[in-house]
Amino acid sequence: MTRILIVNPNCSVACSAGIDAAIAPFRFPGGPVFDVATLTDGPPAVLSWRDWHAVVAPLCRAIEAETADAFIVACASDPGIEAARATTGKPVLGVFRSAVATAIARGERFGVIAIVEASKARHRAALRAMGLEQRLAAEIALNVSMDTLLDPDAARERLIEAGRGLVRAGAETAILGCTGMAHHRDAIEQAIGIPVIEPCQAAAALALTL
């Protein structure tokens, strides 16, 4: 049976549960097995460049220790994606890059909702690597904690308002810039009227094509 392993590089079990729920529609009889693993020695959330660099070595060790046909790095900053790809001969997908690929397939310009202001630099670095920085209409940071995002209600209005800000800036699609936002996707999309892309779902869909 084909196995796709999704690695959450933060240590939040609640965040991993949200990722697991988000990719549930991609599990079907006879299809690949999607497993979600939590990097127990990772930070509570990847908020800074220091967090980003800190997860690279344990992420690579986790990939080396696992048997899978493809790996997904489930953080919207795509930490250590180059190192992870050098660790295994199997495909390694970053959820942010997957979300951007999905976004530009559906519209000319896209926007991103970030968890914190510091996330923007990491997203821009990924966009430059993809040659797509000019397609970014806007990025809006919420500056909230992971716990706030994971609450069913605490951040929803702020997420919706951020999404509306992206629409006003000319975005035709919106990317949720943190895996902790997954359970808000449907509500945001209904409120702002453009496609809202959840990165883990985008990566799971791409993994199926591999």
Query: Which CATH number does the domain housing residue 84 bear?
Result: 3.40.50.1860
**Shared domain check, 144 and 89:** no
**Shared domain check, 102 and 87:** no
Query: Domain containing 144: what range?
Result: 96-199
pLDDT at 8: 95
Tokens of 58: 């344990």
pTM of the model: 0.93
Residue 7, by phi and psi: left (phi above 0), alpha (psi -120 to 50) or beta? beta
Give me the residue label for tokens 């949720």. 176
Split into its structural domains, the chain has a count of 2
**Shared domain check, 188 and 102:** yes
In Å, what is the CA distance from 101 to each residue of 97, 105, 179? 6, 6, 17
**Shared domain check, 104 and 193:** yes
**Shared domain check, 172 and 101:** yes
pLDDT at 1: 83
pLDDT at 146: 85
**Shared domain check, 113 and 89:** no
**Shared domain check, 146 and 66:** no
**Shared domain check, 110 and 141:** yes
**Shared domain check, 60 and 118:** no
Cα separation, 4 vs 52, in Å, equals 23
pLDDT one digit per residue (tens) for the chain, 210 residues: 899 999 999 999 989 999 999 999 999 999 999 999 999 988 988 989 999 999 999 999 999 999 999 999 999 999 999 999 999 999 999 999 999 999 999 999 999 999 999 999 999 999 999 999 999 999 999 999 888 888 888 899 999 999 999 999 999 999 999 988 988 999 999 999 999 999 999 999 999 998
pLDDT at 106: 95
pLDDT at 129: 93
Cα separation, 50 vs 144, in Å, equals 18
**Shared domain check, 169 and 122:** yes
pLDDT at 204: 97
**Shared domain check, 90 and 23:** yes
**Shared domain check, 124 and 39:** no
pLDDT at 149: 86
